[in-house]
Amino acid sequence: MRGYFVGAGLAIAVAAMATSAMTTQASAQSEIKIGEINSYSLLPAFTEPYRKGWQLAVEEINAAGGINGKKLVVISKDDGGKPADAQTAANELVSSENVAMLTGTFLSNIGLAVSDFANQKKVFFLAAEPLTDAITWSKGNRYTFRLRPSNYMQAAMLVEEAAKLPAKRWATIAPNYEYGQSAVAVFKKLMSEKRPDIQWVDEQWPPQGKIDAGPVVQATAAANPEAILNVTFGADLVKLVREGNTRGLFKGRTVVSFLTGEPEYLDPLKDETPEGWIVTGYPWYSIKTPEHDAFLKAYQAKYNDYPRLGSIVGYQTIKAAAAILAKAGSSDPEKLIAAAEGISMPSPFGEITFRKIDHQSTLGAFTGKTALKDGKGIMVDTAYRKGSDYLPSDAEIEKLRPKD
């Protein structure tokens, strides 16, 4: 009798395990997983709004029926701002979680590390934020696509205004890593082409996240530039502005600045915001289009907060990933590449396309000038610049990008 109960118990256990395995398998077949990597612990000012953006996108996609009827699941990992950790996270997402694709990353050096992993392992990677031109050009590969407008695109937008300035003596201040180096190089190239009469009189290269603003401001002032290109952001920008205001660095000088108009970086400046800087950014409070109104309404309803640019990037990254997966009808990397090349889709900034030639999206950016209002920094005189209007010719890109 005892043997009967043992046998019956074993049969029940085996049946339960089989049922659990079948449930797990059915669940796996009814969902599509995307792996997402970002520097959440290192750069929360940008990545927290970014996370909120992609979570809103996931909610909207699944409420509308998912991807070809399958539920979208995003599995997110923190790279801690370290390229090696990002590659480890990518490997875990691919090998253990069986994700259909990789998305995300913020810092340019980390984006390049994950892009290299994707190329080696033949995994589709949609880079969200990294701005270095190398990710789609000199180090571009068939498995990597990029959402945000690149350094070249944002530099071209800024140069359009900067070239009109009478200033001939220019200095640069930028973080000493891939993003800062790339931004300065392309701005100088494009600016010198439009204005061969200008001189580059000084360069300052503080370490990212560790600027010693006093000596940087002092050295820049000693070079006596008429205009300054700034590429610092985050806490470094706050320190630079505070020290520059104190020492009068910006008085009588025009400053052209990447990213400073983004709420993530403009808001912390508060009443110290310098006025009249020419910037790229995101004036969410003054964009009046149906696409942006719909996004803004949904975001504020969910979070009771205003969006930052990170919110737009996170939201559109997952919307783009879902559109590519839906078109491909498969998680096969080659089919995903075929689906992504040339795909067009809506965004809060209007329709965008992922170009076949270099896998760069045509998402644009806003330009304008900094101003103070009610003790806060804002962007004024703003205009949206379509990404497609600020890219080099196909012939130039073919020289820049290695053959697949």
Instruction: Give the pLDDT of residue 26.
Output: 47
Q: What is the DSSP string of 100-143?
A: SEEEE--SHHHHHHHHHHHHHHT--EEE-S---GGGTTTT--TT
**Residue range 188-217: average pLDDT?**
97
pLDDT in tens, 323-339: 999 999 999 999 999 99
pLDDT in tens, 59-113: 999 999 999 999 999 999 999 999 999 999 999 999 999 999 999 999 999 999 9
Q: Which residues contact 294 (CB under 8 A, 6 or more apart)?
A: 348
Instruction: Give the pLDDT of residue 9.
Output: 53
pTM score, two decimals?
Answer: 0.92
CA–CA separation, 188 and 180 (whole Å):
12
Q: Minimal CA–CA distance to 35: which of 72, 75, 67, 71? A: 75
- Long-range CB contacts (< 8 A, 24+ apart) of 219-223? 220/171, 220/173, 220/249, 221/247, 221/248, 221/249, 223/169, 223/171
Asked whether the predicted pLDDT for residue 28 surpasses 70, the reply is: no
Instruction: Give the pLDDT of residue 29.
Output: 72
Q: What is the DSSP string of 374-395?
A: TTEEEEEEEEEE-GGGGS--HH
The ranges assigned to domains in the chain are 32-150+288-364, 152-286+366-390
Q: Minimal CA–CA distance to 373: which of 298, 250, 304, 286? A: 286
| Contact between 146 and 136 (Cβ < 8 Å) | yes
Instruction: Give the pLDDT of residue 10.
Output: 53
**Residue range 375-391: average pLDDT?**
97
Note the CATH architecture for domain 32-150+288-364: 3-Layer(aba) Sandwich (3.40)
Percentage of the chain modeled with pLDDT above 70: 93
DSSP element (H, E) containing 183: helix 178-194
CA–CA separation, 145 and 100 (whole Å):
15
pLDDT in tens, 206-230: 999 999 999 999 999 999 999 999 9
- Between 52 and 402, where is the model more confident? 52
* Common-topology check for domains 32-150+288-364 and 152-286+366-390: yes
pLDDT in tens, 121-147: 999 999 999 999 999 999 999 999 999
Mean pLDDT of the chain: 94
| Contact between 165 and 374 (Cβ < 8 Å) | no
pLDDT in tens, 3-23: 544 455 555 545 445 444 444
pLDDT in tens, 240-257: 999 999 999 999 999 999
Range scoring the smallest mean pLDDT among 10-19, 234-243, 390-399 = 10-19
Superfamily of domain 152-286+366-390: Response regulator (3.40.50.2300)
Instruction: Give the pLDDT of residue 403.
Output: 78
At 24, the pLDDT band (50, 70, 90 cuts) reads: very low
**Residue range 163-185: average pLDDT?**
97
